[in-house]
Amino acid sequence: MTQVKLAPSILSADFARLGEQVNEAIDAGVEWLHVDVMDGHFVPNITIGPLIVEALKPIARRRGVLLDVHLMIEEPDRYLEDFIQAGADIVTVHVEACVHLHRTVQRIKELGARAGVTLNPATPLVTVEEILPYVDLLLIMSVNPGFGGQKYIPTSTAKIARARQMIDQVNPNVELEVDGGIKAHNAAEVVRAGATVLVAGSAIFNKERSVAENVAAIRQAIAEITP
């Protein structure tokens, strides 16, 4: 089985100790850092902008992890250059927010980043069928975006499996990322369905256990899958 990557969402981190918690996650072996950008329009929440990405960039470069920036915003084209210049290695946009998706994906690549596309839980996979040959990542939202700590939508598993089939047929090099409600108890289910990257926020950054313990719990759950 291909090594599954973990991408902790910093949205759930303690921002007073952001650098410390990010380093704890990297020490525990995560490969990516997931940055959720929300504008209060496309989703009902406001989070962070390029300055946080820029602050994380020195840590990411020094420690060899990728900055995975998820733009949950209207008119994302206006901000692609800002986020990529700030240090984004991967920029993911929503199909629902992009009128000219091919052009947006092309622009992300021209600016030097990997391009990802994502869709909300109720948006069918057919909406990414035409763009899949051109992207590096497909992100399946398993909660309605906007807030951390939500519960995984059970029907997402079947959608992930269908996405896996589509990727294998069209562009096998595409990473299949899943974001929303990922915990140790359902990580194996999601990976078994075909995910190669797991985004986890409150499952990694919480007060119940250390970051290292939480990362280890998810890794252990995945390791128990029979290849």
- Any idea which residues carry the catalytic annotation? 36, 179
- Take residue 175 and report the two structure tokens written for it: 């990473």
**Contacts for 18 with CB less than 8 Å, ≥ 6 apart:** 10, 52, 55, 56
Return the bridge partners of 92, or none: 70, 116
Backbone angles phi, psi at 125, to 5 degrees: -65, -25
197-200: strand order across its sheet: 5-8, 197-200, 175-179, 137-141, 114-119, 90-94, 66-72, 32-38
CA gap 145, 154 in Å, rounded: 15
Residue 183 contacts residue 217 (beta carbons within 8 Å): no
